[in-house]
Amino acid sequence: MKMKVGGDSIEEDLRRIDAALSVVGFGKNLCVDANARFDLKEALAFAEAIHPYDLMWYEEPLDPDDFLSHAILAESYVSSLATGENLFSKHGLQNLLRHGGLRPDRDWIQLDPALSYGLTHYLQIIEMIESFGWSRRRLIPHGGHQLALNIAAGLQTGGSESYPGVFQPFGGFADGYEIVEGRIKPQQEPGLGIEQKGDLYRRLKEIFD
């Protein structure tokens, strides 16, 4: 599970994290996402506060283009960082990998394939990160949409964040594929997945007819 942080005091966020952990069990079942809310001082303070939890990841503590601050944070926060959803090409990611201090053994990269030139460009992103010594298993395609899920399944990235109730009609999964006990089967039909979303088809038909 993932929860938002940074909208209140550290003390309040720690209470919220404790409440979430009472449901999901332990730190590796929980990610926190600051949506680039913090400056470096705030990001370091929050990192120190959440260190004992050993969370799955600490997401977007900083602006992804602030490479120096990322490098400083990575030196002090031993658990996993995640970032990249607000980068839109392999070129931005290349600079982050060169200068942001991210660690290929524990950190996560989250470019959204729908916002970074689609599948063709995402293949180039995989090729680039592997040239930097990263595994494609450290990629988590962002977006909560079928394209990200299909990339994760087909190209064997580390996973895909999914939130099927939002970003409709683009978000969610192909018709007829349901989440059961936290899991979903990859679609069997050819295509990216949007072809199997009836609501999306109807919306596009309204626009273009």
Q: Name the active-site residue from 70, 90, 142, 145.
A: 142
Provide the angle, in degrees to the nearest 10, between the axes of the packed helices 10-24 and 40-50: 40
CA distance 108 to 105: 9
CA distance 76 to 73: 5
Who's near 182: CB < 8 A, 6+ residues apart? none
> In this structure, are residues 97 and 74 in contact, taking their beta carbons and an 8 Å threshold?
no
Residue 142 bears catalytic tag = yes
CA distance 196 to 175: 6
Residue 145 bears catalytic tag = no
Angle, CA of 161, 158 and 55, to the nearest 5°: 70
Provide the angle, in degrees to the nearest 10, between the axes of the packed helices 40-50 and 67-76: 20
**3-state secondary structure (DSSP) of residue 108:** strand
Q: Name the active-site residue from 4, 91, 99, 185.
A: 4
Nearest to 171, CA basis, from 108, 88, 109, 114? 114
Residue numbers annotated as active site: 4, 142
